[in-house]
Amino acid sequence: MNQVTNKWSISIIITNQCKLNCLYCTQYIRHLNDLQKYNMSLYEFESALISIKGWWKNKINIFGGEPTEHPQFDEICKIARYYFPRKKLQLFTYAGKDFEKYKRLIRKTFINVFKNEHPKNKEVCRHQPLTVAINEAIPNEELRNYLIENCWVDRKWCCAINHHGFYFCEIASAIDHILFGGRNAIGIYPEWWKYESWEHQYKLCQFCGMAIPMQRDKLSQVKEKMTPKLRKKLQTLNMVRLDDKWIIPFDEQFTTAEIKKNALSWYPGNFREDKHIDKDCQEGLGIKFKL
């Protein structure tokens, strides 16, 4: 799997609060109960920045949820500017009312602002079925491990820090938060990324569907595909929107032949097929089989 220091950026997930409930959100926001929602404290945020002070070649993403919904977003920006130059800082947002409120501050703080296109383009944006757990959908252990080891999210996306600590993957941070209460986080201290091993976090991938070559769904689709054991686990945690109004039970299991066939035309990172040619999109082909 991709070494942490090779990743193009690190996301600091300052909140998992958001007014949207997008299909297959990487932070599982549509299913969170009130006790699972959080805002990173200013101390936690400052500690995260201090710990990556030597992360010389990578960008730093302020991420959520919706970051501008953090109740101390103005202080977040002030602290970020103190520790890092504007050219290192990026914001991910859906640009709602809070974005307009902080527009001048955002321009002052961030070199890049990535605006989520999903709310206005639900009929064209597609997401990978995150809640189809790979340990339920892929019975072949060798194939399952191969897909996880070659996950496009791990190859092309970033590592993350939330209020629990550090994770090799943004999605792993959310899975650990909701399923295990952050028990698999790596503690934050200066230059932890030089010394720590994060292989123990790979077990979190078993609950994720990002590495499975399968059909993606339009965001206009209200219901999410979800495997039965994962659904039961989320129900025991009193998470929300898990009834049949919101969920399509998914109990299919893929063969190796089906996975190889699906992989030939699988471009999971191309959210806008109407706007980008698959072969030219940043994430490219989801996987090239060598099995």
Q: Considering only 9-13, 51-55, 256-260, which range has the smallest mean pLDDT?
A: 51-55
Q: Which two tokens stand for residue 22?
A: 């997008």
**Model pTM score:** 0.94
Give Cα separations from 282 to 146, 155, 157, 253, 290 (angstroms): 22, 11, 10, 29, 22
The Cα-based distances of 56 to 1, 6, 60, 114, 191 in angstroms read 21, 11, 10, 21, 11
Give 186's pLDDT tier (boundaries 50, 70, 90). Answer: very high
Q: How many domains does the chain have?
A: 1
Task: State the amino acid at position 108 in one-letter form.
Answer: K
Residue 78 covered by a domain:
yes
Q: Return the minimum-mean-pLDDT range out of 69-73, 181-185, 254-258, 272-276.
A: 272-276
Residue 8: inside a domain, yes or no?
yes
> Would residue 71 count as lying in a domain?
yes
Q: Which residue has the higher pLDDT, 4 or 101?
A: 101
CB under 8 Å to 125, separation ≥6 — which residues? 117, 118, 218, 219, 271, 272
Which domain, by its residues, includes 102? 4-120
DSSP label of 68: G
Give yes or no for a contact between 21 and 30, defined as CB atoms under 8 angstroms apart.
yes
Write down the pLDDT at residue 34.
96
More confident residue, 57 or 176: 176
Mean pLDDT of 70-80: 98
Task: Quote the pLDDT of residue 3.
Answer: 81
Q: What are φ and ψ of residue 93, in 5° steps?
A: -155, 155
- Contact criterion met (CB below 8 Å) for 192 and 186: yes
Does the pLDDT at position 280 exceed 80? no
Average pLDDT of span 185-208: 88
Q: Are 27 and 37 in contact (CB under 8 A)?
A: no
First vs last Cα of the chain: how many Å apart? 16
* pLDDT value at residue 282: 64
Say if residue 71's pLDDT is above 90.
yes
**How much is the average pLDDT of 49-66?**
89
Letter string b/e over residues 131-163, b meaning 16 or more CB atoms within 10 A of that residue's CB: bbbbbbbbeeeebbbbbbebbbbbbbbbbbbbb
Torsion of Cα atoms, 25 then 45 then 151 then 283, to 10°: 80
Q: Give the single-character DSSP code of 104.
A: H
Q: CA 86 → CA 34, 60, 81, 89, 174, distances in Å?
A: 34, 10, 7, 5, 27
74: in domain? yes
- Which comes out higher in pLDDT, residue 263 or 1? 263
Q: Is residue 290 part of a domain?
A: no
Q: What is the pLDDT of residue 291?
A: 63
Distance of CA 41 to the CA centre of its chain: 20
Residue 103 pLDDT > 90 = yes
Q: What are the counts of helices (DSSP H) followed by strands (DSSP E) for the chain? A: 11, 10
Asked if residue 237 belongs to a domain, the reply is no
Tens digit of each residue's pLDDT (9 = 90 or more) over 221-238: 999 999 999 999 999 999
* DSSP-derived 3-state class of residue 224: strand
CATH number at residue 8: 3.20.20.70
3-state secondary structure of 167: strand
Is 20 within the bounds of a domain?
Answer: yes
Strands 126-127 and 217-218 turn out to be antiparallel
Question: Quick one: tokens of 102?
Answer: 């902080």
Cβ–Cβ under 8 Å, residues 108 and 222: no
- Evaluate whether residue 160 is within a structural domain: no
| Tokens describing residue 163 | 């209020």
